[in-house]
Every structure is written in structure tokens, then in C-alpha cells.
Structure 1
């Protein structure tokens, strides 16, 4: 695709990146077939190809309008189009550039500005967010529909952080997402418990940090970069002091953002080297836990115990962003679980970080489709009893409307291991 960038961006690094990405696009349209918003709305401007043209026009000097901004806002950043693209177009990076330009040139209505500022700042304040959750759950039925649709039931809190292993075989630094402790206070502790059983010590940052992903998706690049720099300052000393220490994420959306710090700061002379080291150490829990279980006695114990039938929801950030599709379902099946994969598993559930509260009507439609597919099993004998996922945003979004319990896959394994440990204690006492 030929481009003639306008003077305001031509000499900037973002302009050079945008021109490279635009030139890779051959306008084939493969992306439209896998785009959730295009499937719902049928508008070319709500497809990746259409948005690429809108961004191209902006960068060539055409003034963007609120309509332009609306179509860019509607993108979930799910990256399904990147998985389908035969030309390797870095659509998500181009969208970040386009949203930044639109944000600078189009003034949103004050109500929209206030709504975005409220949600994006609230998500980054776990204590306040958690307090509002506790206040909202008892009165859920009288809340406005968009809030009610987003408010999940409380997730079970099944234990505390473990004592570190006596002689750890490895150590990891666990990233603790902003919203996760408020929505699901058990998940980080469950992750640490599973790792401790396998001889891995879990370290924590003294002060939890935000990865900046929600701000970035909301077009607030300055706020996103400030949060990223805070994260680097907090974690880099630990990573630099231990060449074997990995930065572990159990939320694939945050893990994707962390893995791209190196790209965000690649042209910053002061931060490039540190950001590259940081991103190189990022791992999703799905890259660690299955191998550790396979090499431990827990493999046989989990294989032998009774287990529920599962429906697996693969977060977009995992399958399209991190390109780790297949790891979790393979691990669960190896351990003897019956795992149902839904039709159109590549499509987004409609969570997408803050997108579900900024685009509530579209988000609910996508969630209804996803839940219907997750619950439908052709074999009634293996009808799902649980939905499992790998990202807190998807977990909370689906749980707010699901008739089935929605669990993180690590939580599920931890609960089974805790049950086996309790059963073993009872046997020893008889």
C-alpha cells in the first residue's frame, strides 16, 4: 500500500513505523473474516482493513472526525486479524499510532472524556476498585444495565500465600495486575501455591505496578508510558541482579503488554536496553507450569483424581498476541480433563480490557455468542461443568453472565491439589 505521510508525522519514529506497516498491507481482506466487530456491524470501517484506510488518510493529512474516532474506538485490539494476515501486518501497533493521532486532533464530548477518565483511572486503583465492587454486589439488580453487565459474582478465596520452598529449584517474580486482586483475590496466591508445590519460589514487588495496557488501548499514550516506566524502575533491579529470574504473568492481557515494553522503548536511549531485558524475561504461567507438573509426582496424582468437564476459553491476548494457543488445553488434557473447545474459538468474548465498559452494547453481544458456544457440547455426557480461561478480564466478563462457574485454569489445578492434600492428611490421621 503506497503512502505519502503528512509533514506533522513524517519525520517522527511513529511515522516511520506507520509507513512500514502500511506498506505491508496488500488489501487482501482476509482480516475481515475474523474481525468480531465487522461480523456484528457489517461496516467496512469497523474491520481491520477499513480502519487501516482511516489511519492512512489521517497520517496523510486528512483531518479526522468523531466518526473516524468512533470506528477506531470500536476495535477490540484482539489481534485476530494479525493471526489471519498472510502479510504479517502489525495492525495493533498501527492502531496505537492511529488512536494517538485521533486523540490529539479530535476533542471528545465532555461526557465521553469524563467516562473514559473515570474508568481508566479506577481500574488502576485496586483498593478503590475493590471497595466499589464490594458495595455494588449487594445492590447489583438495581444498578444501570452497563454496570450490572460488568459486575461478576465474587470468586472463591481458597487460601493464603504459601511459605517459600525450603530449597527452591527456581525463582520467579510474579506480576500482580491492578484489577486482579480486587476481582479475584485468590488467583495470585493460587499461582504461588501451585509453584511452591513444584519447588518454585514466588517473589513479589514491594509495591504493585500497572503495566499501562488499559491506558494504551484508550489512546492515552503519555499515561501508559509513565506507568510502564514505573514498572521498569520497580522490576529491573531484581531482574538485573539475578540472571535466571523470570517475570511471570498469570493474566495474558497484562503479559502481552509486558512482553512489548522492549518495542515501546526501542528508540529511547535511556530505557531501550533495560526494556529489552525486561521483555525478554516475561513469561506466561502457561509457559512454566505444564513443564513443571509433567516432571513432578503431581502429574500422576492429578491424572488419577476425579475431575470436572471443562470448556476452554482462549483469551485473544494469549492466542493472537502471545501466540501461545494450545498450551493450556494440551496441559489439561494431559492431566485427564475432558476439554470442550467452542465453535469460533478465535473470536473475542467482548472483554478487551476497558472496551467492555466503553462499548457495552457490542460487548454484551459478543459475550452472549461466546457463552452460547462455550456451553454447547455435542456430547451430553461431557457437558461442561466449568468454563476456564487464562485472563482476569475474560474471567470477570464471562462470569458476570455465565450460568456456569468461570475459573482461571491455575485456580482450578490449585483447588484439585488442595483437595488431594487434604485427603492425604485425612488418610494419615486414620
Structure 2
């Protein structure tokens, strides 16, 4: 089902490794071209465009774009008890995990009367996207909202696609999760058009079709959501281009093939375009995993979706010479989710530079991070983990430096300031300081 790429005996540099490793055949530039007219129409027409796109893409016209408060309350009231308990625990753990990310304000003194204060200020308003295509993700509500709340954001809005089988409202479990977190501004809007709504805002006579523009947009989605986020970057801030899910597993001969196969399948279950990659130095393990996958995938609820994902160009088994070679490969791949199932998993995990999140050992499967580990599951995909981070409080915080010098402190550095200003042929810069010294 999964193709094999044999890299044994091939010590390739990272740039060449990235070219031969499994990767989805997706052109973000093509996607941007497709979403650009959608964004332009949303910006120009507002609510009428959103209703039209709901009918076109979701097959239903919502009664209103904004979900009424009574609907949110009813969704929470009707939420199954076990799901509410699980969401409550997920929220508790996520809050603890994100509180640990909060940076500490600091003051640096360069001498008497010369201080620079480092402040961290939350953005005022954010738009949080929660996907709802082949599956629905109340867990993504938790990941987005908790991080923003811990950061101290004052105004939060959530958008999720309208569901044809829910009278044009987002999935009821998503609505219940919003209510559980105290979010009362929720929109039945999906896809690139939701990103446009957040970026440009909606003006309407009635609150049911109005939305103030936001400062930052976060949340996962398909390639078109990712493309829309790239397109509006600069109008608003974004977290990262979190597209279709992917998992890489680095495993040696001692790994349990049942665990490896189950984890590869768990991500393939998301979407036919999901990527599942096994990197191993053991042919025997690769064969055992393939056998397990055939057995498990055949009987899985979403068997067709799983088979499409595992047999696609974005998935595969990569054979390497040894674990050192394997670590080079997974660092080049820069997976969204990276599992380490090796004899010394903790030590091997410490050598990983590029991954959205690292799952250490046989009892830290990716689904743990998807739901309840206390980490965040909104992570960089498509190799962007080489330079991007997963969603956290930092996505909603601005670093602001406050410069506080008194007269004596300014005088002490004026000559140096003037020398640097003159070297850049900006004499007025120096004059601004000399004036205060009385020169």
C-alpha cells in the first residue's frame, strides 16, 4: 500500500533529501490563484458573498452568519456527558501547558537612568478557524481558544463551516466547545471565505451579519485555507500555514509494528491527502508494519480514505542505513508530527531540530497530542517546521520594547550616537540628541 524509498548508501545533503522524500503534490501558488477571487469578492460584497459561497461549497445557506447565543447554549446543554468531561479535561491540560509558555517581562539597566523594558502585549482581537470538512474538530476549538485566552486576548471570534445536516450551523460539538470556553462570537463560515471575513471584516445593519476585522488569524485547514492565510498576511498576522496533516515515525527494529501501523493510520484517517511516512533502518520492521496496515486499514471505518492517503505520493516507507541517517532524514523532512520509537527515544528526540511536535517513545502517540496531552495540535506542515512553530501564546503576543533614559543617561551616549548618525549620513539624528545636551 505504501511505496518504499530506499536511501541506504545515499548520503544526500538536506536539500536533496527534501526533493526525494514523500510529499504531497500541492502547488500553493495555484491555490492562492484560486482563493484570490474569493477573498476579493468577500472584501467587496461582504455578507452576500459569504451566503453565496456557503451554498456553493457547503450545500446550505445559513439562516444567519453569526450563530445565535441560544443555539450555543443549547449545544452545550445537549452535549454528551462523556464528551463534556473529556473536553473539560483537555481544556484544563491545554491551559496549564500554555500558561507555561507565557514570557516574563524584563528590564535591562545599562547604567543609572538608562533602562529598556521588554513588554509582551496581547493583540486586541483574533479570528480562530476551526475546520469542518470530512471531519469536525472540537479539539481545534480548544487549541485555538485556550492559547488566545491564556495570552490575554480580549476579543475572540470563531468560524467553522456550516453543515448541511445541521440546518446551516457548524457542527453542534464545535458549538458546544465554544460555549464551554465562554466564546459567544461564532460564525457559520468556512474555507478561504472565512479567512477573508476575519481579515476584512463585515459591515451590516444587523449584528447577525457583522464581524469586526481581526488582528491575527490562526487555525488549521485545507490547502485553500492555508493559501488564504498566506494571501492576507500583512493585512493580518497569521500563525502558520497549517495545512493537511502529516506524520513521520522514526523507528528501529525494536519498535512494535502494531503501534507504528496504528499511528500511521490514525493520521491517514483525516484526509485522502494526509501524509504518513515511516523512516526505519529495519527491513523486517517495515515488512511487519506493512502487514499490520493491510489488516487494520481494511477493517477501519474510513478504509477508503485511509487507503487513498497511504498509497498517495505524500506517504511512504523510507529505508535508511542507521539511526544517524534516519535522524538526518527526518530533520530534512520536518514533519508536522514526528514520533520517535527507538531504543533510546529520549536521546534521539533531543537530536531533532525540525518538527512541529515530537512524540517520544511508544506511549506518546500523535492522537495524544491531537486531543489531551496539554500541547497544541495546530502545527506547521509541508516542511515549514524548518522555520515555523506550532500554535502557542506567542502567536497572540507582540514584543514591545520601552526605552526609558533620563537626561544624564542620554548625555553619556550622545557622542557615540552622533558618530553612528554621521557614519550613516543622517545628521539630523545626531542633532536631535545634541539639542538635548545643549550643544
TM-score above 0.5, yes or no: no
Instruction: Give the structure with the higher percent strand.
Output: 2
* Structure with larger Rg: 2
Higher relative contact order (CA 8 A, sep 6+): 2
Greater share of helix: 1
Q: What TM-score do you get using the length of structure 2 for normalisation?
A: 0.30
